[in-house]
Amino acid sequence: MNNKKNSIEETRILEKTLESLEVRRQSPKGVYILLLLLYFAAAMTVSLTAGSQKEMIIGHTPVPIYTFAGTFSSFSNLCIIFLVIFCGKLGFITSVIIMTFHIPMILMGILVRKNYTSFPGLLIDILTLIAVIVIYSNIKKREEYQLRMREQATTDPLTKIPNGFAGTELLNKLIRQNIPFAAVTIDINDFKSINDTMGFDMGNKVLVCIATRMKEIADKSLSGTLDFVSRINGDEFSLVVRNYRSEEDVLNTIRKYEAAITEKINIDGYVFFLNASFGYSFFPTDSSERDSLINSSVAAMKEVKRINTGEHILRFASEMKAKDHLAIDNRVREALENDTVFFNLQPQYDMSHKLRGFEVLARMRDEDSSLISPADFIPAAERLGLIDALDLSVYKKAASFFGEILKRTDADIILSINVSVKHMMKSDYIEEIRTLLSENDIPAEKLEIEVTESILIESAEKASRILNELKDMGIRIAIDDFGTGYSSLSYLNSFPSDTLKIDKSFIDKMCENATSEKYVEAIISLAHVMDFEVVAEGVEENEQLEILQSIGCDYIQGFIWGRPLDPKDAENMI
Ligand code: C2E
Ligand code: CA
Ligand code: CA
């Protein structure tokens, strides 16, 4: 629930950012014509008044009419400058043409008629021409910069196709304009095994190949409908289909993409045969809300995987979500009743590879004894009001293990545990933790509690009180997933925390461009100023590690040096 709220809020913030990056639109033709008319009217008035010998009485003073020529001349130059500012390229070209005609005409007047009174006018025209060129080149530069930023914000760096944000932006637009479309979620089946057996590099190459094929279909309209492909994350893509006459058209379109994915992939001499699962839902028939449409197509895609027949494409049906929930809810209830929730320990290291400690990660198995992802069962436990029971079950098992380790070895390590907002806000949370420490002989400073930003935002006052109490007991506080919410470091600094965990998404982006690297570097410097220790999460590659070492990160946690381990393996490691 919190995650969802966060991601919606995140999208909103991104939307605002993109709005501010929106490339300046040119003013309508009306403005162009008006400015042109004003210019010519002013220029005519200049030539009429400049030679006039008449006078005008203002107050009681006679004022020669030719003195107004300067005012109108300035006004005409102002029109020229406004043309460039408001009418883009067309305004610029018009201004330059006018000035290149006007300047020689004045010059001729001076040289042929020896009329030197026009000399100041000539200078002003030349200055105006220079101003026009400078203003236009500045506008161009800014537009190019905005375009680049926009492109960066909406392009997936790996595959160079639009990213998930670009996809949701399109959905927003279509929903606003009430244009019917089908939202399709595509998930490559068994992609993980490529990563596991062939490595991430090969996995990435395969993804690029699939993305390129799909983009070609969309770009060249090979499916007969109007399509938009984007990469959501990992091996998950999204497709938005428009301009279809019937559901059959949409199915035919999806089959084109399916064929592109199942076609043989040949990379560096290795051959892959993949397939994918497709779920889709219709706007406005299945839902008129963006998030619910996306969730529906994801639910349909999961259902395809679950039923696991030869058919790989399925439309959303309302029972799916309920069924999806029901299955996972039952697993959570059973696991708690049978006390089969267990835990893994993921090591954290300092930059010289010395062990800092472990993060405790909850684990649960499905009926077929495959692992269920915490991303599924933690929200389910929260929904069922069982998260405190689940947390506590994990805490007790992990604390008992850790207490034993401390007794038997002289390891100077800490144990990090996660907490959900609903659990921490319970009145006896502090007592629970106190008991946990005393029953297992764990010194308070060896326990770290990871809280997410959402806890600190939703219930700032209460959270602050609880965290202060924990802190007074000597327990360490870490801010988890930093960067996925929208709070600033200075806001977080008002809570008594010791550690900042930078979210994996930032670490992922770090190697893609210099800006992201600078960003992480800035977070680390700022965090140090505020006395936080920094843990980088989800470090997978050497390049990331090297950058983090060079920009002063304190600790890392990631597959590169350690995946989540069974307690037995963790013990051997210590
Ligand atoms: P988290 O606290 O951000 O935990 C880190 C997650 O990132 C773990 O996923 C871990 O396996 C994964 N990870 C670590 N290094 C890497 C890496 O290099 N690459 C990749 N791809 N992933 C990496 P996991 O175990 O699936 O946990 C997911 C989330 O579930 C956790 O995110 C945490 O928010 C929640 N969670 C886990 N255990 C508990 C628990 O006991 N109680 C509560 N309330 N939440 C928990
Ligand atoms: Ca955590
Ligand atoms: Ca985290």
Q: What is the CA(317)–ligand 1 centre distance, in A?
A: 31
How confident is residue 5, by pLDDT bands cut at 50, 70 and 90?
Answer: very low
Homologous superfamily (CATH) of 164-316 is Reverse transcriptase/Diguanylate cyclase domain (3.30.70.270)
pLDDT of 10 > 50? The answer is: no
Residue 62 bridge partners (DSSP): 57
Task: Answer whether the bond into residue 28 is a cis peptide, omega within 30°.
Answer: no
DSSP letter string, 126-180: HHHHHHHHHHHHHHHHHHHHHHHHHHHHHB-TTT-SBBHHHHHHHHHHHHHTT--
What's the CA-to-centroid distance between 481 and ligand 1, angstroms?
A: 10
Name the residue of 344, 361, 448 to mutate for ligand 1: max ligand atoms within 8 A of Cβ: 361
Q: How far apart are CA 221 and CA 243, in angstroms?
A: 11
CATH hierarchy code of domain 326-573: 3.20.20.450
Count, residues in the chain: 574
The DSSP-derived string for 294-330 is HHHHHHHHHHHHHH-SS--EEE--THHHHHHHHHHHH
Distance 451 CA to ligand 2 centre (A): 7
Burial class of 181 by CB neighbour count within 10 A (0 to 12, 13 to 18, 19+) = buried
Ligand 1 atom at minimal distance to the Cα of residue 394: 41
Question: Highest mean pLDDT: which of 17-31, 343-357, 378-392?
Answer: 343-357
pTM (two decimals):
0.56
Is the pLDDT at 458 greater than 90? The verdict is no
The reported pLDDT for the residue numbered 165 is 86
Tell me the C-alpha distance between 65 and 55, whole Å: 5
Q: Report which protein residue has its CA nearest ligand 1's atom 3.
A: 481
Task: Decide if pLDDT at 483 tops 90.
Answer: no
Strands 226-233 and 236-242, bridge-based pairing: antiparallel
How far is the centre of ligand 1, averaged over its atoms, from the C-alpha of 363 (Å)?
10
What ranges do the domains of the chain cover? 2-17+24-154, 164-316, 326-573
Q: Which of 1, 384, 418, 420 to mutate to test the pocket of ligand 1 (most atoms within 8 A of CB)?
A: 418
Q: pLDDT higher for 367 or 97?
A: 97
pLDDT given at position 24: 47
Ligand 1 binding pocket (C-beta < 6 A) is 346, 361-362, 373-375, 378, 391, 394, 418-420, 450, 480-481, 537-540, 557-559, 564
Asked whether residue 187 carries a pLDDT value surpassing 90, the answer given is yes
- Rounded to the nearest angstrom, the distance between the alpha carbon of 451 and the centre of ligand 3 is 9
Give the Cα separation of 54 and 57 in Å (integer). 10
Q: What is the pLDDT of residues 45-94, one digit of tens each?
A: 988 887 778 888 888 888 888 888 888 988 999 999 999 999 989 999 99
Residue 354, H or E segment: none
Alpha-carbon span 432 to 427, nearest angstrom: 10
Share of the chain above pLDDT 90, in %: 64
Arithmetic mean of pLDDT over the chain: 89
Which atom, in ligand 1's list, is nearest to the CA of 361?
38
pLDDT recorded at residue 521: 93
Q: Please report, rounded to a whole number, the percentage of residues in the chain having pLDDT higher than 70.
A: 94
pLDDT digits (tens, 9 = 90+) for 218-243: 999 999 999 999 999 899 999 999 99
- For residue 364, the CA-to-ligand 2 centroid distance in Å is 17
Predicted local confidence at residue 26, as pLDDT: 55
